[in-house]
Amino acid sequence: MKKINIVIVDDHDLFRDGLKLVLSQIENFNVIFDTDSGFLFLDFLKTRKPDIVLMDIDMPEINGFETTKKALDLYPSLNIISLSMFSDTINYTQMISAGVKGFVLKKANKTELQQAINKVYSGGNYFSQEILQKLAFNSLLPGGKNESLTIREIEILNLVCSGLTSHEIAEKLFISIKTVETHRTNIFQKAQVRNTAELLIWAVKNNFFSIK
């Protein structure tokens, strides 16, 4: 089983040490670097690209938002999951616009953390249910269905929101990946969103996708 190489960026030493301990108990997870500094993390990225980054939001010197933007400038496909307190709502939209692939509450258990990492590593997005609900409720994204989606687009939208990749959707629906990508582009344009994370919030807000 391939190891998933993980980096932890969080300025709370006790939390970071506990997180490393939890991750070390999961067979295919491998913490290759941890730091309390966004700057040190960006220096690390100059020599190695991890599979997953667990990123705190509120840090001194350079916060999670700025660190995420700079990291994604270097590696646009980098998988970043934001580690969040439930009270961080005001920062959620910033982190999503920066390009994070998900949010996990710091109070999450080992099972949820494992699920989040595996889903993002596989090409999906992951949001703790409490955060997704709060994001949808407080979202500044368009609230009305400005352009109606076709039945096929709604079907693909639900599969995207469930975390499936374009390849997985193509296999499931017996269509080409190119067709899936065309539908995805159309859905993004109709929803007026920039990335999959924003699409998920839009879908929940507009009752296309329900939180289970």
Q: pLDDT digits over 41-54, tens only?
A: 999 999 999 999 99
Q: Is it true that domain 4-138 has CATH number 3.40.50.2300?
A: yes
Q: Which of 193, 194, 195 is nearest to 145 (CA)?
A: 193
Q: What is the CATH number of domain 151-205?
A: 1.10.10.10
Q: How many angstroms separate the Cα of 71 from the Cα of each of 46, 77, 117, 166?
A: 10, 10, 18, 25
What pTM was computed for the model? 0.79
Per DSSP, the three-state class of 80 is strand
Specify the residue for token string 């067709």: 179
Say if residue 94's pLDDT is above 90. Answer: no
Domain ranges of the chain: 4-138, 151-205
Give residues with Cβ within 8 angstroms of 21, minimum separation 6: none
Of the pLDDT bands very low, low, confident and very high (cuts 50, 70, 90), residue 89 is: low
Which burial class, exposed, middle or buried, applies to 155 when counting CB atoms under 10 A from its CB (0-12, 13-18, 19+)?
middle
The interaxial angle of helices 129-138 and 89-98, nearest 10 deg, is 90
pLDDT tens by residue, 65-88: 999 999 999 999 999 999 887 655
